[in-house]
């Protein structure tokens, strides 16, 4: 059976390392027979705010449709000031609204996870070496993606990794990261 994989490049600039990692992930997945869709934040009209019941932009609706369609979701984004870029966060704020991704129960603080049955991967790129991010800050970007995004809405995290330091990476290291992304895509398929 063909696996449906949605890859979201959550980087606001076209032609980024994130886009290259996504393409190699897609190459690995397609080589194993997966049906892959890719969206690029750099090509999306994003939301500027959050409001329950607000009309979403066509690009955010398409983003939701891709998540709904997918059995596996992969998000790749840069790590800026301890989090994903604001434009990417705005898409998630708007797109992962109550009623689509989760729904709070009428009483108490419990919720239903509306995106169960899916798995997910994430690749986070940073100038901060991952070991320093872990030691000094306890890996906030990875923890948020794994626990407060994926697990919160019912997506079972497979691999959430951080690659860095991007600014210090030599071509050989960049090539290893691209190979790693391709292997992750193959494993996801």
Q: Which domain holds residue 133?
A: 4-188
Confidence of residue 163 (pLDDT cuts 50, 70, 90): very high
Q: Dig out the tokens for 23 from the structure.
A: 């393409």
Number of domains in the chain: 1
Question: What is the SS3 assignment for 52?
Answer: coil
**pLDDT tens, residue by residue, 70-101:** 999 999 999 999 899 999 999 999 999 999 99
Which pLDDT belongs to residue 67? 98
**pLDDT tens, residue by residue, 117-160:** 999 999 999 999 999 999 999 999 999 999 999 999 999 999 99
**pLDDT tens, residue by residue, 15-62:** 999 999 999 999 999 999 999 999 999 999 876 656 666 788 999 999
Neighbours of 128 (CB within 10 A): 18
Which CATH number is 45's domain given?
3.40.50.360
**pLDDT tens, residue by residue, 177-189:** 999 999 999 999 9
162 in Cβ contact with 79 (< 8 Å): yes
Nearest to 62 by CA among 116, 122, 115, 8: 8
């Amino acid at each position: 059976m063909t696996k449906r994989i949605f890859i979201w490049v959550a980087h606001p600039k076209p032609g980024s390392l994130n886009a290259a990692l996504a393409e190699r992930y897609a190459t690995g997945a397609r080589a194993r027979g997966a049906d892959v869709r890719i969206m690029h934040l750099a090509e999306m009209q994003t939301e500027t705010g959050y409001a329950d019941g607000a009309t979403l932009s066509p690009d955010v609706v398409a983003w939701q449709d891709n998540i709904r369609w997918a059995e596996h979701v992969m998000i790749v984004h840069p790590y800026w000031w301890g989090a994903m870029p604001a434009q990417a966060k705005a898409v998630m704020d708007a797109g992962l609204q109550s009623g689509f991704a989760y729904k709070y129960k009428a009483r108490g603080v419990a919720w239903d996870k509306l995106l169960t049955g899916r798995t997910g991967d994430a690749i986070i790129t940073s100038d901060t070496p991952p070991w320093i991010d872990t030691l000094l800050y306890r890996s906030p970007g990875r923890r948020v993606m794994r626990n407060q995004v994926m697990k919160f809405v019912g997506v079972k995290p497979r691999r959430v990794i951080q690659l860095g330091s991007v600014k210090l990476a030599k071509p050989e290291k960049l090539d290893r990261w691209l190979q790693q992304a391709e292997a992750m895509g193959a494993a996801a398929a």
